[in-house]
Structure 1
């Protein structure tokens, strides 16, 4: 396994999906998700399980998300032959509004040699008051 190629591939897949997402199109993310996909979202108290569940959730948001630009901050890909974990901070901008989130994506290399996301975890970035 070429670590650099895996890292570049995973970041490119994620960037393309985010680009579409920020224009209200969830289809590239849905195409990346495995059938046994699981998802933690800050808008839900419990984990969402399965591709059909996430499709229903995303379809309710289709066309409603609109961001002017985004930045993937400090992406790291930790990979083995068939698994990769991508972590990064995301900054999304809509006018003067800035959204800051943490993201963890767990990718699995399928038998057809396509990387699919098997688990996604998003959280709003907010520093704890100490």
Structure 2
């Protein structure tokens, strides 16, 4: 008899949605709470990975109190991983910054993020 793993697609989708909501509200504590205790963040890919909830909260501290517009463009969940493309629009002073990264995340059995790899480069950033 084959054991069937439980489908956590809905839980992963909810975590991705909560992640994007927390990023849009600029809440570093809420973002970090979505990660497993020793989760990792590589943002952008090629940079030194940030390890652990406390370090991840510090990384996102620059967003604290800043409201951004975020639009989920596409999401694919497969097994315990997700890849999603989204747009971030950030007003800063008299300029508006826009970038559309592709994030790849892995999740544990509780749909906590175990790793994030954010695919984007400064050359992808548009300034209006």
Q: What TM-score comes out, normalization by structure 2 length? A: 0.74
For residue 14 of structure 1, what is the aligned residue in structure 2?
16
* Ranges in structure 2 where 5+ consecutive residues have no aligned partner: none
Farther-moved stretch of structure 1 (44-53 vs 33-42): 44-53
* Ranges in structure 1 where 5+ consecutive residues have no aligned partner: none
Distance 1:107 1:43 in 2: 18
For residue 99 of structure 1, what is the aligned residue in structure 2?
99
Distance 2:116 2:45 in 1: 14
Higher relative CO (CA 8 A, sep ≥ 6), structure 1 or 2?
2
For residue 66 of structure 1, what is the aligned residue in structure 2?
67
Distance 1:38 1:108, change over 3 A: same
How many pairs does the alignment contain? 115
Farther-moved stretch of structure 1 (47-56 vs 36-45): 36-45
Distance 2:76 2:20 in 1: 16
Q: CA RMSD in A?
A: 2.5
Distance 2:18 2:49 in 1: 24
Distance 1:61 1:98 in 2: 15
Measure how far apart 1:26 and its partner are.
Answer: 2.1
Distance 1:43 1:18, change over 3 A: same
The answer as to whether partners of 1:17 and 1:26 remain within 8 angstroms in 2 is: no
Measure how far apart 1:33 and its partner are.
Answer: 0.7
Report SS of the residue matched to 1:75. strand
Q: What TM-score comes out, normalization by structure 1 length? A: 0.73
Distance 2:88 2:82 in 1: 18
The answer as to whether partners of 2:75 and 2:84 remain within 8 angstroms in 1 is: yes
Report SS of the residue matched to 2:9. helix
